[in-house]
Amino acid sequence: MEANANANVEQKVLQYENFINEVLKRDLQKVMEQRDLVYEKISQYLQLKNVIHTLKDAGAQQLKTDVDLGSNFFVQAQVEDSSRIFVEVGFGFFVEMEHDEALRFIDKKTSQLTAVTEDLTKDSAKIKANMRMVLEGLRELQGLSDPPERRRRDVF
């Protein structure tokens, strides 16, 4: 009877370990990748904001710049009127805006994206808590003692 109970415990341990490795770690990875993509978008908008401030401070209407045509192939371009720029608003759409209009849009967009990152951070914390709970359940199921605090290390 005891051999059957041990086999049952081992089966449960394998199921929990599989759940951690196949489900929770994969979900955590996806959430972290999504959060990184949102941080990258925020960074791009902040770079655009700095460029707009530089354009406003320079005050020149004409502008010479290098333009990437793709695959890091750059050509020189001359912009006759730099008072208006095209800003990506999402889903591949660009809207022509004046500098002040673009700055207001960037502020709203970055605050919205920051809220998204906060939600994704909360989601990752929930997944980490679930992983911790399953690991504690495994420890109990296997009858292992609780390691001292100083010897514990972060699993995630």
User: Does a structural domain hold residue 153?
Assistant: no
Instruction: Give the range with max mean pLDDT: 5-9, 75-79, 120-124, 150-154.
Output: 120-124
Question: Domain range spanning residue 138?
Answer: 2-142
The answer to whether 92 touches 103, Cβ cutoff 8 Å, is: no
User: Does a structural domain hold residue 155?
Assistant: no
User: Does a structural domain hold residue 135?
Assistant: yes
pLDDT of residue 2: 65
**Sequential DSSP letters for 8-37:** HHHHHHHHHHHHIIIIIHHHHHHHHHHHHH
pLDDT in tens, 110-141: 999 999 999 999 999 999 999 998 888 888 87
User: Does a structural domain hold residue 81?
Assistant: yes
Q: Quote the percentage of the chain above a pLDDT of 70.
A: 88
Query: What CA dihedral angle connects 52, 57, 59 and 65, to 10 degrees?
Result: -50
User: Does a structural domain hold residue 154?
Assistant: no
User: Does a structural domain hold residue 148?
Assistant: no
Q: What's the DSSP call for residue 149?
A: G
User: Does a structural domain hold residue 27?
Assistant: yes
More confident residue, 63 or 43: 43
pLDDT of residue 31: 96
pLDDT of residue 93: 94
For residue 115, the domain's CATH number is 1.10.287.370
Total count of domains within the chain: 1
Alpha-carbon distance 42 to 36, whole Å? Answer: 10
pLDDT of residue 80: 87
pTM for the complete prediction?
0.77
User: Does a structural domain hold residue 150?
Assistant: no
Residues in the chain: 156
